[in-house]
Structure formats: C-alpha cells, structure tokens
Chains A and B, each alone.
Chain A
C-alpha cells in the first residue's frame, strides 16, 4: 500500500516539473496532434469549437455567424480583445513601466474547425494588436 502511494505521489509530483506555462485545453476542444515542442507562454486564450468562440472562458461569438459574414473581422471578439489590451496597457502604466504592448494570444482550435473561422479569428487578433499568435496543439510524446 505504501509502495503504491509513494510511486503515485512521485509520478504526480514529476508531472508538475514542466517548462514554461502550463495550459489546459478548454473542455470540448479536441486539439490536433503535432510534433511541435515549443512550450506555451502566458497569453490570452481564444478557443474555437463546435459553434462557439470563447475568450478566456467566456463565449464571445458564434462560429456560424462569423463564418457567414463577408467581413474577416469578428466584432464581438475584437471588442473583448480591445478591452483586454486597454486593461493590460493601464496596468503597465500604473506599474510605471514604459513597455510597449506586445499582445500574445494562443488559439485553441478543435481539429475539425474550418480554415474560414481560423482565418477570421487570426485576422481579428492581429487587427486588435495581438501580433504574436500561437496555435495550441497536443505534443506527440
């Protein structure tokens, strides 16, 4: 019994020893597998799955509506990203740092979403000043 518990405890403690930021997939998102080994960094998370576009855990837009639009910009998502940028800039100002805003966003897309919606989300992020875009994937072990 003690042996089992000790082994389990060591295994669990080892799973905490990771590089970079630990991000967990948003429930409902089936991330594609990739050979990429780049560790994630702290960033805003935009998740796309089924008919939902979420930002930091809140539903902000619908895939069907955004895909049907001829415009690449998804307005509700752009508004949320602008709000987040203003908050980050304000916090940086209060801290007294004169750093330029470097928007980082991580897109968690379900493997079955279409490029049409991915393109719109990436365009919206870029238009809102989030130039550093990364795609979250499951690393092949």
Chain B
C-alpha cells in the first residue's frame, strides 16, 4: 500500500510539463505581432513657415536672415553681418565644412535659431534633409524652406 502511493507521487513529478497550450499561444501571437510590427523608426521634422517680407520690418535689426543656398556644385552660407562662405559640394568633407561654418555663426549670434534653406527647383529632397540635419545639429532648429528665384 505504502509502496504504491510513493510510486504514484513519482509518476506525477516525473511527468513533463505540458507545453503545448503555451506553444499554441506563441505560435498564434507571433505571426499576428510580426504583421503589425514597425521595424522602421519613422520620425518627423517640423517645418517653420518662411518669414513674410512684411514681418521683416519690426525685428529686422535682430534678424540676421541667415540662409544656406544649395546649388548644384556648392553651398553658400550668408546673412546680415555674417561672412559669406562658399563650400564646394564635391569635397569629401563638405558637410563638415558646412557644419563648421554654421557653428561659427551660432557662436557669433547665439540668440539666432532661424535659418532659411534656399533650394533650386531641381534640388533633391534627400540633399535638403541632409542640410536640415546639419543646421539642426549646429544649433539652428527653426528651419524654413524657400525656393531660389
């Protein structure tokens, strides 16, 4: 009698854990999650409306009207009271030079956070976003886009 009870406990303990319900749950959940999962980290760049010519009058003194013009072969950094810089895009370190030029302007005019990016009609969107990144990383987050005349 005593021996059979001990064997009964041993039978219960020796049994494998029943994993099938858990496996079924996982197998059902994983495809569902895979379908709706987002693997790309999509973020946004908030745009600032370009300054109106009429608004320029009031705070024209403080506004240095900093602008980067994206040409096919070069960037031009210029503004009121800012030394004009022309950076050749073919240079391997053109983006570093542009970042340095903007960092210099930020150091001279720490209150200014605005910058206009002036593009040609055939400037590619990817190039514009790259310049926007450089501007933001240099401390000029308020970017507005303008078209070259």
Chain A residues proximal to chain B, CB less than 8 Å: 1-2, 5-6, 8-9, 12-13, 15-16, 18, 22-25, 31-41, 106, 109-116, 118-119, 122, 126, 131-139, 141
Cα A38 to Cα B143 in complex, Å, equals: 14
Asked if residues A15 and B44 are in contact (CB atoms below 8 Å), the reply is no
Asked if B133 and A34 sit within 8 Å, CB to CB, the answer is yes
Closest to B122 in A: A114
Chain A residues positioned under 8 Å from B125 (CB to CB): 32, 109-115, 118
Chain B 134-149 near chain A by CB (<8 Å), digits 1 or 0: 0011000000010100
Q: B41 and A141: CB pair below 8 A?
A: yes
Measured CA separation A126–B34 after assembly (Å): 37
* Beta-carbon contact of B33 and A113 below 8 Å: no
The number of residues on chain B lying at the interface, defined by a beta carbon within 8 Å of a beta carbon of chain A, is 38
Give min CB distance, A39 to chain B, whole Å.
7
Query: Within the complex, which residue of A6, A9, A35 is in contact with B133, where a contact is CB–CB below 8 Å?
Result: A35
Q: A109-B125, A113-B124, A114-B122 are in contact. Are A15 and B39 (CB under 8 A)?
A: yes
Given contact pairs A36-B44, A38-B43, A135-B45, A115 touches B123 in the complex (Cβ within 8 A): yes
Q: Which of B22-30, B58-66, B87-95, B107-115 contacts A (4 or more CB under 8 A)?
A: B22-30
* Interface presence of B53 (CB below 8 A): no
Nearest-neighbour CB distance to chain B for A24, whole angstroms, equals 6
Name B46's contact: one of A5, A110, A134, A139 (CB within 8 Å): A134
Q: How far is the CB of A84 from chain B (nearest CB, A)?
A: 19
B130 beta carbon closer than 8 Å to chain A:
yes
The minimal Cβ–Cβ distance linking A60 to chain B, given in whole angstroms, is 19
Extra inter-chain contacts (7) besides given A37-B43, A113-B125, A119-B145, CB under 8 Å = A2-B23, A18-B38, A24-B42, A34-B45, A38-B43, A40-B42, A138-B41
- The 4 A-B pairs of least Cβ separation, nearest first, read A111-B126, A12-B33, A134-B44, A139-B43
- Chain A residues within 8 Å of B119, by CB: 115, 119
Determine the chain A residues whose CB is within 8 A of the CB of B121 once the complex forms.
114-116, 119
B13 at the interface (CB under 8 A from A): no
If the complex has contacts A5-B30, A8-B30, are A39 and B44 also in contact, measured as CB distance less than 8 A? yes
The A-contacting residues of B in range 3-35, CB under 8 angstroms, are 19, 22-23, 26-27, 29-30, 33-34
| In contact, A134 and B47 (Cβ under 8 angstroms) | yes
B34 touches A136 (CB 8 A): no
- B37 near A15 with CB under 8 A, answer yes
